[in-house]
Amino acid sequence: MSLIIAGPYTVIPFPTRRGLGTAYCQRQTGRWSPVNGWTFDQEFRGLSLPVMQNLANLYGNAGIEYELTYQNGIATLRTQDTTGNVTIDVWEINANQVTVSWLKNPLLLALLRQVAYAYVYSVNPSAAANSDVLDWNVTRFCKKMADGVENNIEPFRTTVPTDINSATDPSYTPPTGVTVTSNGLFSSENFFNSVFSFASISSTVYLPIFRAYQRAQAGQDVFFADQYTLRHTTNASNRGYYNVADSNVNAIYTQAQFFSEISNSGLWIFPAPTEIIGALNSIFTGLGTAPTNYLKGALKGGSSRVTAANNRVNIVTEYKLFNWSTDDYPLAV
C-alpha cells in the first residue's frame, strides 16, 4: 500500500532540498538475542517518495517489516529484518501404541533365554556362556513355536497322542526321554526336537511360555506396546543452509549416536534439554534386550518443511525409538 500524502489539508511549501531521489542506506544495525537470534535494522533516506515506496515494496514482498515516513520532502524507510532469526528449538516425546508379534515380547524372550541357557548348559556347559549361542537357540525356539501356531502342532512334543486314552494305551510307546503320565500329559518332554527335561528349570519359567503359546493358538498373537517418537521442530531461515535433519534418513542410530546428535550444540541453537535426555534413557531401558539381528536404537525419518511466519520455514524431524531389524535398515554413519 502506498503512502498517502494528499488530503484535505493545507500543504506547507517544501523548503529548498538538495540531494538525489535515489534511496541511500544511512544506517545498519545487527541485534543478537539468545531467544530470537539475529535481527537486522536498516534506514534509507532519499528525496523521491515513489523510489522509496518501490524499495519498501521489495522488503514487504520478502516478508520484512518496514516503516515509511515522508517528512519535509524527505522519504525515510526503516526496515526490521527478522528472517534470520532462530527461534527456540522445540523437542517433543510422543507415545503411540502399536501391536507387536507375541514372539517379540521382551518378557517371553527373557523366559526363552533362560530355557535356552538350561538346554545349552545340559549339552555343553561351556557354550552356555556364549551369548550368540543362546540368541541362536531363542530364535530357533521362536521359529518352532510360530510353526506350531501356523500348523496347529504342539512344538513342545514330538509325538502327540491321537486322543487322551492313547497316552495310557499299553501299546503306546513314548519317544526316548519322554514320560507319559496317567492323564496323558508329558511330564518330561522332547523339547524343541532335543531331549530336554523341564525338571532343570522352574515352572515359573516354562508355564508362562506354555500359556503364551496357547493364547497365540487361540488367536491372541500380538501384544500392545508403546512406541516412542522424539519429534524436533526448528524454525529456520528461508535462505537455505545445511541442516542435519537431512542426513542419515531412514537409518538406525545407536543410542550413543542418537544422544550425540540431539545434544550437539553445533547442530542446534538449543539442543535437547537434560529432562528430555533423561526420559529417553528410561525409554531405551524399557525396550529390553534387542533380539538377534536387531538393534535397540532410533530410526530417523525424513524431514517435512512448512512455511511459517516472516517467510521462514519450520523443519520437523522424527526419531522413532524401538528394537529395529538390521536386515531392514542401514546403520547411521
Number of residues written out for the chain: 333
CA distances from 331 to 120, 132, 172, 228, 245 (A): 32, 20, 55, 19, 16
The phi-psi region of residue 169 (left if phi > 0; otherwise alpha if psi is between -120 and 50; otherwise beta) is beta
Q: Are the beta carbons of 143 and 168 closer than 8 angstroms?
A: no
CA distances from 168 to 155, 163, 185, 189, 190 (A): 21, 10, 10, 16, 18
Reduced 3-state DSSP string for 271-316: CCCHHHHHHHHHHHHHCCCCCCCEEEEEEECCCEEEEEHHHEEEEE
- Which residue, among 186, 214, 195, 192, has the nearest Cα to 144 in the 3D structure? 192
Q: In the prediction, which pLDDT does 139 show?
A: 83
**Which cell numbers in the block locate residue 141?**
525356539
Residue 96: strand pairing partners: 227
- Domain limits of the chain? 1-85, 90-99+224-325, 100-222
Q: In the prediction, which pLDDT does 187 show?
A: 38
Chain-centroid distance of CA 37 in Å reads 28
End-to-end alpha carbon distance in the chain: 52
**Which cell numbers in the block locate residue 63?**
516478508
> Which residues, given as ranges, of the chain have pLDDT below 70?
1-17, 34-37, 84-88, 152-201, 239-241, 310-311
- Which residue, among 56, 61, 57, 50, has the nearest Cα to 77 in the 3D structure? 56
Chain-centroid distance of CA 14 in Å reads 66
Q: In the prediction, which pLDDT does 195 show?
A: 47
DSSP structure string for 256-270: HHHHHHHT-TTT-SS
Secondary structure letter of residue 20 according to DSSP: -
Q: Are the beta carbons of 303 and 147 closer than 8 angstroms?
A: no
Angle between helix 274-286 and helix 255-262 axes, rounded to 10 deg: 160
Q: Is the alpha carbon torsion for 242, 328, 260, 333 positive or negative? A: negative
**Which cell numbers in the block locate residue 261?**
546428535
How far apart (Å, rounded) are the C-alpha atoms in residues 193 and 155?
Answer: 8
Phi, psi of 173 (to 5 degrees): -115, 115
How far apart (Å, rounded) are the C-alpha atoms in residues 81 and 34?
Answer: 16
Q: In the prediction, which pLDDT does 310 show?
A: 63
Secondary structure letter of residue 331 according to DSSP: B
How far apart (Å, rounded) are the C-alpha atoms in residues 160 and 323?
Answer: 36
Q: In degrees, to the nearest 5, what angle opens at C-alpha 12 toward C-alphas 8 and 17?
A: 135
